[in-house]
Structure 1
Amino acid sequence: MDAEIKAEFEKSGFSFVDEEQILRKCLTYCVNFKLSPVDLVANWEIFYLNRELTGLDIESSHMDGFLSHLQNAQKERLMKEEPHLHIYSSNDIDMFYGEKQDDSKEGFPVSPNQLLERSYFESNALTPISSEKASSSKKPELNDRITPFGQRTNKFVSQYTFNAEVAGNATNNQEPQNLDDDLIRRVPPSEICSLKIHYSQPEPGCKFMYDRIEDRFNSIEHRIRRHSNAFAKSGLYGEPTDATLASQKNIFAVGMISCNGEGHLNDNSIMLQGSVEHSGGQRVRIDLQELSQFSLFPGQVIGVEGHNPSGHCLVASKIIENKPVSLDAGLPPAKKPVMDHDEQNPPGIISRVLSVIIVAGPFLTTDNLLFEPFKELLAYATRRQPQLLILMGPFIDSEHPEIKKGTVDRSFDEIFRTEIFRRVEDYAQYMGSSARVIIVPSTRDANHDFVFPQSAFHVTMPDDTKHQIYCLANPCFFSANEITISCCNVDILKQLSSEEISRSPVDAPADRISRLATHLLNQRSYYPLYPPSVSVPLDLSLAPEALDIPTTPDLLLLPSDLAPFVKASDSNPFPFYSPNAFVGINSTNCCIVK
């Protein structure tokens, strides 16, 4: 039969690149699909024309696509013969019967409370089959159809490895439940955390895409002058002067780092742009040969000590990267209190103890829109009962394959309300008045404005949960139990890592990712990079003060594609925290900070 298959292909003008392997697969196809060599070649010609393949050489890489073509052709024939027939595959069986996870199989002891929690979430979750006796006249649910919401290639497996990479203290043989217990204590439902929103701008419904060159210039000038005033008030470095003037004496200048031309920074392209007040906004090249240590990026405002003998190059002897602002500087006036603090938190009993679960999206597996990681996260939070649950987008990820294809049959707002917000409401109602949830958007959210800074989600809160669920802007600044928390849901760390140029002593330990996070605190800005990355829709005319970090927070949340980390700042007792995808996009990105 191999010879017959080969003869039929050659009769049609086709040849084989890997004859033995391709003929073996073709023989298998003939047997499995009950095709004669003539029928097989006829199907190949249809596949060849539909795929618009070039050349007459048949390659091994074509065989997988050809197999899918034969499977679809067979299914279409069967459907024509029996219109109401549904062909079930192993993936369907996994989807229908393998969806629920048994905690006992994962090594977790099952208590009566956990059984109650599981039954609650299973009764509220959308499942592919709600009842064996469902009426055929009933309007089919979204997951009843083979759509991006219900189609699967791999069964979602619950991951009980939260914080496994960050903790670092657990051994490979340690049980997952022991690791969780070491990281967070179960908080009684009666303990309500105080919550105060210090800054959350811009407001929902604001207009954007109206920024001008003047707005960008004013923003840069404002940052440089603000740093200059801070250096002058500190009394440590003297009055800032014009760095472009020729002088044999040592001077102190303040300006913004920029690149002389296209591309990335290098030792010969680092320029210092001064303020209009001191140098008319002119730039001068910086020579860093005398420095053994520095870390610079475009948009960074620094202080420089050195001399400029020719007027064309400032020879730096010292660089001051951090803005000299007192760490005890007060917070900005708080927003209108979002809850009655006197009633919920009587004075004198608030302590700086907080249990919080911090999560960053996406909350989808790459093969469907079932939001299984998100449902697993809420079930986990129900078991642990944190005082505060912080959810950072993207929720409806615009980078998801099915979203990019445009094959979704519902609006993005409807998906968000049904799959995300309604589940959060159910979680808040189930947990009671002790639970607090904060929702922060991302520029990758398909159902929200593509601009940064980004307003909060505009959703109507039900009366019974309006004091539990808070939608904040991106970035935002708030405090819970007198612990100040700040988050910026733009991957500024990854963008800084591609633009930064640094030098450090050979014997000094390198901690690059901590250094990148420290840049934000030193610059007092959530997004100090300028020009911005092409992926960031930065609008400096839209609440420019929203990008300022008013004071050093106790906890700075920076979701990023870089390696996950928890770092403690030298001047800050609480760590930086980057809730990255610990085990990839197919898992719930979750970490716990106590």
Structure 2
Amino acid sequence: MEEEIKAEFERSGFSIDEEEEVLKKCLTFSINFKLSASDLVSSWEVYYLNRQLSGISVQNAHMDGFLLHLQNEQKEVVTKEDPHLHIYSSNDVDMILNDGHEDTKEGFLGTPVDEEIIYSEFSDFTPGINGKSTSGKQLKPLSNHITPFGQRKTKFMLQLSFNKPPGLENSIKEDNFESLEDDVIRRVRQSEKCSLQIHLSQPEPGCRFMYDRIEDRFNSLEDRIIKYTNALVASGLYEEPMDPTVASQKSVFSVGMVCCDGEGRLNEKSILLQGSVEHSGGQRVRLDLQKLNHFSFFPGQVVGVEGHNPSGHCLVASKVIDAIPLLAPSDMGLPPAKKQALDQEFQPSPPSTMLGDLSLVIAAGPFSTTDNLLFEPLVELLAYASRKQPQLLMLLGPFLDSEHPEIKKGIVDQTFTEIFHVEILRRLQDYAEFMGSAARVILVPSIRDANHDFVFPQPAFDIHPSNLKDQISSLSNPGIFYANEVKLGCCTVDILRQLSGEEISRNPANGSSGDRMSRLAIHLLGQRSFYPLYPPSEGVPLDMSLAPEAMHISSIPDILILPSDLAPFVKVLSVGRKIDGDEQSKCVCVNPGRLAKGIGGGTFVELNYHGDLDRTSASIIRI
């Protein structure tokens, strides 16, 4: 039989790696599923094409997936013969032994359970902001192997924590539910409702876009250089900048934008400084970085440079100012008309003890695994939030991912808008109704959303949930809002990953490499822009003419949310120094990761913020 299977594979043009192991498993499959050699190879060809495998070799690593494919084929055949037949699996056995199905329990918001969250072996550690435990050991990733979402053995695992209070690892508020009878559950006790204010949500839904001209792009970049220059001069620490292209033996101070002399990646030999029209006519000069002990540059970065240009062709830099000094701690100078209060008629002024305190759960899409569009990770996230009762549930796109295989192939039988309303909004409305009027949900779109405008900056979703307008809100991308007077900023474009690919840096001579993720995030705050990179990364539809103020960060937010494909983290950023003192401004930067990764689950963040960062705690939870 093994020889027949081998001959069939060779007849179909396939070679076999680890022949003995592969043929032994194929023989087992053939016997268990009652397949002839030709039928087995035919099933392999279907599996090979569906999975889009590369190469023509049958490998031992493919056998587990091939077995699952054969099981699904067998199940479809049996189901067609008897549609009312239930095929029992290991999940059914667990349900019988445990008197209930684990997935079913957590899948319905109206059926809360007393099950404790299952944490990983790292729950005894309290990692620092660099991912190291207090004992100095580097935390290793849980596993490189992705388990299919429906086959997870554990639900929620604590991957990393920041300032986790002792004794709260497994705490679930048992008094949130009161049972009248065994199967009758009262409504969740309402928690304190947080105040909510949206700051300058632009552009508006339905706006026209992609009409920007070269003039608009030039004016936007020039405006950035001028604002940066004015801020440095207003601080009193720097003099009026001079033209860096003029030959001079004296040290000069100039301000300009970092750019590359070609189309390739930026490096130390190709870096140029482009001055403003006012001070240098927009001309460029080459930068010499040899005298700098450390630096970090990327295209589009606006910097102040002290140095001398003896020849007129090269500015030898001796000092670089890559961050605007902190002039004010908050948006005190903004007119009141630029702040839109969403809940004045729904929520009375909260007590002063609640201001500055906020509990929230943050998750970024995709919200469905790549093998289906059932949105199982979203269902379990809402079940988790219904138990933990955060004041704010923040969901960042993509919600309907344009990179999802079924979306790319166009095999869905509904419009993208219908899927969004049925699978996303309806579930969020059920969550809001279940939790009561105190629950808040914020949606932030992504340029990867198939049902939304492909432009950046991006307008908010045009949603009007009935009777829930004060609970479910949408924010522009990027956006800034206030919750309990805590300022939050967010951007769903993966700027961290894009900066990581474009940045060049030199570490200090003392050998300390620093924290690269913190450095990349600090660039956004130092440049006062959600997207300081220029030219933009490939695939980012940047429109310079569309609400350029939407990209501006007027002051340092308390919480900065930057979803990225890079490793999830929660870090405290120390940004600059205030002019009137040595105090550094603090900002909590959060990358929640992706809620779904491939066919498996991803991560999200639970954050309890307090004005005092020593009392602020956060957990990165793997789902």
TM range (shorter): 0.7 to 0.9
The answer as to whether partners of 1:360 and 1:391 remain within 8 angstroms in 2 is yes
Change (3 A) 1:165 1:245: same
Match of 1:177 among 164, 170, 180: 170
Change (3 A) 1:87 1:400: farther
The CA distance in 2 between the partners of 1:274 and 1:68, in whole Å, is 61
If you compute each CA radius of gyration, which structure gives the higher value, 1 or 2?
1
The CA distance in 2 between the partners of 1:12 and 1:573, in whole Å, is 63
Match of 2:136 in 1: none
Match of 1:592 in 2: 606
The CA distance in 1 between the partners of 2:568 and 2:273, in whole Å, is 33
Match of 1:578 among 576, 591, 613: 591
Spell out structure 1 runs of 4+ moving beyond 6 A. 3-19, 45-52, 65-76, 87-90, 94-106
The answer as to whether partners of 2:193 and 2:347 remain within 8 angstroms in 1 is no
Deviation at 1:44, TM superposition (A): 5.2
Match of 1:119 among 96, 111, 117: 111
Deviation at 1:367, TM superposition (A): 2.2
Letter matched to residue 160 of structure 2: E
The answer as to whether partners of 2:266 and 2:298 remain within 8 angstroms in 1 is yes
Deviation at 1:340, TM superposition (A): 1.6
Letter matched to residue 470 of structure 1: S
The answer as to whether partners of 1:192 and 1:434 remain within 8 angstroms in 2 is yes
Q: Percent identity?
A: 53
Deviation digits for residues 194-226 of structure 1 (CA, Å, limit 9, x no counterpart): 111112111111111212222111111110111
Match of 2:487 among 484, 507, 511: 484
Q: Which runs of 5+ in 1 are unaligned?
A: 122-151, 182-186
Letter matched to residue 379 of structure 1: A
Letter matched to residue 579 of structure 1: P
Structure with the larger helix share = 1
- The answer as to 2:485 corresponding to 1:465 is no
Match of 1:133 in 2: none
Deviation at 1:153, TM superposition (A): 8.0
The CA distance in 2 between the partners of 1:441 and 1:356, in whole Å, is 18
Q: Which moved more, 1:295-304 or 1:358-367?
A: 358-367
Match of 2:139 in 1: none
Deviation digits for residues 10-67 of structure 1 (CA, Å, limit 9, x no counterpart): 999999787656665665566456566xxx4588589879989xxxx98534996998
Match of 1:379 among 360, 372, 383: 383
Match of 1:440 in 2: 444
Correspondence list, 1:295-444, <5 A: 295-328=296-329, 330=331, 332-333=334-335, 334-340=338-344, 344-345=348-349, 351-444=355-448
Change (3 A) 1:523 1:88: farther
The answer as to whether partners of 1:377 and 1:588 remain within 8 angstroms in 2 is no
Match of 2:224 in 1: 223
Structure with the larger strand share = 2
Q: Which runs of 5+ in 2 are unaligned?
A: 50-54, 114-147, 174-187, 575-583, 609-623
Match of 1:287 in 2: 288
The answer as to whether partners of 1:296 and 1:500 remain within 8 angstroms in 2 is yes
TM normalised by structure 1 equals: 0.79
Local SS of the residue matching 1:316: strand
Match of 2:58 in 1: 60
Letter matched to residue 490 of structure 1: V
Local SS of the residue matching 2:468: coil
Change (3 A) 1:15 1:330: closer
TM normalised by structure 2 equals: 0.76
Deviation at 1:355, TM superposition (A): 1.6
The CA distance in 2 between the partners of 1:330 and 1:301, in whole Å, is 22
Match of 1:498 among 497, 501, 511: 501
The CA distance in 2 between the partners of 1:360 and 1:432, in whole Å, is 24
Deviation digits for residues 362-409 of structure 1 (CA, Å, limit 9, x no counterpart): 222232222122111112111122222111111112222332232222
Match of 2:517 in 1: 513
Match of 1:535 among 529, 532, 539: 539
Letter matched to residue 205 of structure 2: P
The answer as to whether partners of 2:297 and 2:503 remain within 8 angstroms in 1 is yes
Change (3 A) 1:118 1:156: farther
Deviation digits for residues 504-538 of structure 1 (CA, Å, limit 9, x no counterpart): 21433511111111101110000000011102111
Deviation at 1:347, TM superposition (A): 8.1
Correspondence list, 1:19-38, <5 A: 24=24, 27-28=27-28, 31-32=31-32
The CA distance in 1 between the partners of 2:417 and 2:375, in whole Å, is 15
Letter matched to residue 85 of structure 1: D
Change (3 A) 1:341 1:303: farther
Correspondence list, 1:84-95, <5 A: 84-86=81-83, 93=89
- The answer as to 2:471 corresponding to 1:475 is no
Match of 1:155 in 2: 151
Change (3 A) 1:289 1:13: closer
The answer as to whether partners of 1:476 and 1:486 remain within 8 angstroms in 2 is yes
Match of 1:128 in 2: none
Local SS of the residue matching 2:418: helix
Q: Which moved more, 1:486-495 or 1:25-34?
A: 25-34
The CA distance in 1 between the partners of 2:99 and 2:28, in whole Å, is 42
Deviation digits for residues 78-114 of structure 1 (CA, Å, limit 9, x no counterpart): 68xx964359796x746889799989999xxx9xxx9
Match of 1:166 in 2: 161
Match of 1:523 among 520, 527, 548: 527
Match of 2:561 among 557, 561, 580: 557
Local SS of the residue matching 1:273: strand
